[in-house]
Amino acid sequence: MLKKLFLFLLGIIMLSCKTSKNQSIIEENTKPILISDEFKFTEGPAADAEGNVYFTDQPNNRILEWSAETGEISVYMENAGRANGLYFDNEGRLIAAADEKSELWQINIDKKVKVLVDNYQNKRLNGPNDLWVDAKGGIYFTDPYYQRGYWKRQNPDIDKQRVYYLTPDKREVKIVADDLVQPNGIIGSKENAVLYIADIGAGMTYSYRLSKNGNLTDKKLFTEMGSDGMTMDEEGNVYLTGKGVTVFNKKGEKMAHIPVDRNWTSNVTFGGENFDQLFITASDAVYILQMDVKGNN
């Protein structure tokens, strides 16, 4: 009887430890560490296969690279099309939301640029902002309208601010969401076929199911918070940005808030050699935070 009671209690303790471990996402006694604040406005972090993180300094029109091995930052590309959001495709090429001319770029390994999209039905896009690549190589991208000082135009050619899908063969661009106020951040899970889109204009974030043809179905309110940029970890938790970084579990329940010492946190991703470092872009700075979970970039 005592043996059975001991095993029962041991099982409860082990279950409790497991639950605690799963809910722990931030390494104990850590906070974001400032890496550099030598920029004007940072955005769009994306990690390559080695964990190096590329990010944009949009006002300075350049893409920079943070080395996972050395921690040093170097200039990857000048004259970067005023790139905003970045993401690596399934072949390791960097895809950029280049809103100088409202284009979606593919930057090849040799740094040659190929324009993938620059219009929808012969109308100039508003300004591609953020993107995510699915398992088939199709690209979802948000297209809000933010009037830029470097534009000659003063009004959009397309009235609605939408989310588009560029098919894997790169031949078709189709609307997948046109009922949002101002879509901005976007992130998905290839394994679970789910996509999250932040409607920063409405202060909401929604989840969708991915169809085989790239269409979005089963729209659900995920949380009553918008976001500039987004990422996910291996547990399926979703990270939203704005005033620091706020983390939600799969159910849309708030798990944690990570304060960042800047007025605005624009974006976030996982990088580093083990993909367990949260790379944060915030106004004129970039930060690193050691995590207890790995990314699902």
Residue 17 has pLDDT above 90, yes or no: no
Domain range for residue 131? 34-230
Average pLDDT over residues 30-38: 96
pLDDT the model gives residue 29:
83
Residue 19 has pLDDT above 80, yes or no: no
pLDDT the model gives residue 23:
55
**Where is 21: in which H helix or E strand?**
helix 2-23
222: confidence class by pLDDT, cuts 50, 70, 90: very high
Assess if residue 281 is contained within a domain.
no
Assess if residue 117 is contained within a domain.
yes
Assess if residue 48 is contained within a domain.
yes
pLDDT above 70 coverage of the chain, percent: 92
10: confidence class by pLDDT, cuts 50, 70, 90: very low
pLDDT the model gives residue 272:
97
Contact 104, 98 (CB under 8 A): yes
CATH of the domain at 171: 2.120.10.30
Cα 297 to Cα 263: distance, rounded to the nearest angstrom: 26
Closest CA relative to residue 268, chosen from 297, 248, 236: 297
pLDDT tens by residue, 108-147: 999 999 999 999 999 999 999 999 999 999 999 999 999 9
pLDDT the model gives residue 48:
98
Query: What rounded mean pLDDT belongs to the chain?
Result: 92
pLDDT tens by residue, 255-284: 999 999 999 999 999 999 999 999 999 999
- Both tokens assigned to 31: 């906070």
End-to-end CA distance of the chain: 49
SS3 77: strand
Residue type, 71: G
The whole-model pTM stands at 0.91
pLDDT the model gives residue 24:
80
pLDDT the model gives residue 6:
38
pLDDT above 90 coverage of the chain, percent: 89
Assess if residue 248 is contained within a domain.
no
C-alpha 247 chain-centroid distance:
13
248: confidence class by pLDDT, cuts 50, 70, 90: very high
21: confidence class by pLDDT, cuts 50, 70, 90: very low
pLDDT the model gives residue 7:
38
Assess if residue 184 is contained within a domain.
yes
pLDDT tens by residue, 178-197: 999 999 999 999 999 999 99
- Count of domains forming the chain: 1
Assess if residue 59 is contained within a domain.
yes
Assess if residue 112 is contained within a domain.
yes
Contact 248, 259 (CB under 8 A): no
Assess if residue 16 is contained within a domain.
no
